[in-house]
Chains A and B, each alone.
Chain A
Amino acid sequence: MSLFRKRKKIVVPVITKEYGENKWIRCKSCGNLIYYKELKENLKVCPKCGYHFRLTAQERLEQIIDKDTFEEWDAALSSDDPLKFKALESYKERLERAEKNSKIKSAIITGKGKLNGYDTAIGILDFGFIGGSLGSVMGEKIRRLAERASKEKLPLIIVSASGGARMQEGIISLMQMAKTAAAINSYKKGGGLYISVLVNPTYGGTTASFAMLGDINIAEKGAKIGFAGPRVIEQIMKKKLPKDFQSAEFLLKHGFLDAVLERKLLKPTLSQILSYYRGKKW
């Protein structure tokens, strides 16, 4: 999950609340100072260089789902500690820290809402909660999301941003890959349309399960997507990686995505896809 921690090249500009609405922040990609309000109005894309700042799940939700139409599902689910996992920091401490910093209870929000008027089920991962890692809670929320979407005959969108499986839940987290794949499989067999949106970054067990199983796979511009982390590959191969390696464009070129979209085109494109789908009886 923390494949990126030691990789210096990746800049992760994060806007915290303390900046407030009236602050200037520096784009770590181009170095320009941007007025926060302007950045926010621009969907948190740098108006100078086009750098896509990371979004929280809540911010993503507000950008994609029509105002006041979202109904959250299974919000009460929270992590347990099945292995009583202890490392430098215990899993319990790690969870407490994540909750405190992110003010959310798990690495995914799920529910239903309207997207330009079209009803849809949606799940959004939050990289800010232990790297958006796939553990029992995410697995169960995705399972219930897919099952309920199927029952209510809704299309399904999942926006992924994740470092992979949550190590602290050991084998149980690995099995969430199988669990989510099973849930997606049943959902599709029931006639549902699943759109997977991959944003920066999506790696490991998340890419190798539900995130790569979309009927339509879309990546946001600037997303890094892969199975193994770049550092691991570099170490194993003992050579420098190609410049565009694991970029959204790289995956598009190799045939694993339907489209790479700038953030401002994400909602219109999702809406366009849902328009083809609307009214279909399963």
Chain B
Amino acid sequence: MVKLLSFEKSLKPLYEELKEKRKNAQSTDYIEEKIAETLKKIYSNLTPYDIVQIARHPDRPHTTDYINALFTDFLELHGDRKFGDDPAIIAGIGYFNGKVTGVIGHRKGRNLKENLRYNFGMAEPEGYRKALRVAHLISERFKAPIITLLDTPGASPTIGAEERGQAEAIAYNLQELFNIPTPIVAIVIGEGGSGGALGIGIADKLLMLKYSIYSVISPEGCASILWRDASKAKEAANALKLTANDLYKLHIVDKIIEEPAGGAHRHREEVIQAVGKEAQKALNTLSRLSKKKLLEKRKEKFINIGVYNE
């Protein structure tokens, strides 16, 4: 059974009934319909913090799931050529809809063992440096476009990360990704955690799954600073305007990729295919631009963001 989130508790008896009916080989049509109905009701009325929880659901499709489903002949490329290889970032090249395409994303695990190995998708400086190295390689040697998949709680906050220049690694990516000469499409598939997400998030098109989030700080972090109480994460999630709908309204995101009621973790294949379709559409539009125009427009996209009085 899928792990129920706090706002889905009313589904528990229904899922139990379903399990029972399956065990007894009885018809499940009615109960499945009822579950779908209830999900629809719950998902039509989600709070921002509910969406935060969906975005973090352990069964939500992760970068590797998208790569496995959407790429053929994928070759993972390792290492930053400077210090190490960070497993929290996966980068490589393969065929996407028959065309050579690069892909770079945060790697989250499905269970604790995997998550410890991938550091919960929190990248070290080496991860950002690997991402940039591979971006250069893909665009300049293979003349191929790049899809980046954003899903991280944030950049790794450790002594080692600071020693090896976490800030410099992210800053340098932010600068250099503006010079990558082939199209880049970034898609927030789960948690867009602050600078840790943005570090591989400079792109010509920014798409977001409906139940993903993108924020300057985690709601818990924001709550502990501005409310002086980490338990006020719900209030912080409201205030931060971190949902796909919010970001679309703020003109940060170009397109929202729909998810069915119940979220991507209940409709994995459907959502993965939808992401593939939208990524392809975005790449098609971008492939018509000259290199010069592409880089100009990428810069324009970010340099005009801001709301101020004058």
In the docked arrangement, what's the CA distance between A83 and B305, Å? 14
Please name the residue on chain B nearest to A202 by beta carbon. B167
Residues of B within 8 A of A82 (CB): 250, 307
Tell yes or no: A98 within 8 A of B by CB.
Answer: no
Cα distance, A170 to B194, chains bound together (Å): 10
Q: Are A227 and B242 in contact (CB under 8 A)?
A: no
Could you tell me the distance between the alpha carbons of A53 and B228 in the complex, rounded to whole angstroms?
Answer: 27
Shortest Cβ distance from B215 into chain A, in angstroms?
6
Is there an interface contact between B235 and A136, defined as CB atoms closer than 8 Å? no
Asked if A165 contacts B159 (CB within 8 A), the reply is no
Chain B, 207-223, contact with A by CB distance < 8 Å: what is the 0/1 string? 00000001111000110
Residue numbers in A under 8 Å from B174 (CB-CB):
177-178, 181-182, 208-209
Most buried by A among B170, B195, B202, B309: B195
Contact call A83/B239, Cβ cutoff below 8 A? yes
* Cβ of A174 under 8 Å from chain B: yes
Is the CB–CB distance between A167 and B222 below 8 Å? yes
Return the contact of A172 from the options B168, B170, B217, B252 (Cβ within 8 A). B252
Contact A171:B302 (CB < 8 A) given known A2-B225, A227-B157: no
Select the residue from B161, B201, B310 with max chain A CB neighbours within 10 A: B310
What residues of chain A lie closer than 8 Å to B194, measured between beta carbons?
165, 174, 205
- The answer to whether A208 touches B309, judged by C-beta atoms less than 8 angstroms apart, is no
B195 near A139 with CB under 8 A, answer no
Are B227 and A87 in contact (CB-based, < 8 A)? yes
Interface size class of B (residues with CB under 8 A): 35 or more
* B45 on the A face (CB < 8 A): no
In A185-221, the 8 Å CB interface with B consists of: 185-186, 189, 204-205, 207-213
B162 in contact with A212 (CB, 8 Å): no
B303/A228 in contact, CB under 8 A: no
Stretch of A7-15, A40-48, A57-65, A230-238 on the interface side: A230-238
Q: How far is the CB of A188 from chain B (nearest CB, A)?
A: 8
Assess A209 versus B157: contact at CB under 8 Å? Given A175-B302, A186-B299, A227-B166: no
> Residues of A contacting B303 with CB < 8 Å?
143, 179, 182-183
B294 at the interface (CB under 8 A from A): no
Q: Is the CB of A205 within 8 A of B216?
A: yes
User: Is A176 in contact with chain B by the CB < 8 A criterion?
Assistant: yes
A166, A172, A181, A242: the one within 8 Å of B250 (CB): A172
Inside 8 A of A255's CB, which chain B residues have their CB? 165
Interface mask (B239-279 → A, CB under 8 Å = 1, otherwise 0) = 11110001100101000000000000000000000000000
Q: A88-B228, A169-B307, A245-B162 are in contact. Are A179 and B302 (CB under 8 A)?
A: yes
10 sample A-B contacts, Cβ–Cβ < 8 Å, listed by A number: A82-B250, A170-B239, A178-B305, A205-B216, A208-B167, A227-B161, A227-B170, A227-B195, A228-B166, A254-B164
Chain B residues engaging chain A, CB cutoff 8 angstroms: 155, 157-159, 161-168, 170-172, 174-176, 178-179, 194-195, 198-199, 201-202, 214-217, 221-222, 225-228, 235-236, 239-242, 246-247, 250, 252, 299, 302-303, 305-310
- Pick the 3 closest A-B CB pairs, nearest first: A228-B157, A181-B174, A136-B306
Sample of 18 more A-B contacts, CB < 8 Å, known A83-B240, A171-B214, A241-B159: A77-B310, A86-B239, A89-B226, A167-B217, A170-B241, A171-B215, A171-B240, A171-B246, A172-B250, A189-B179, A207-B171, A208-B168, A208-B199, A211-B171, A227-B195, A228-B155, A237-B159, A254-B165
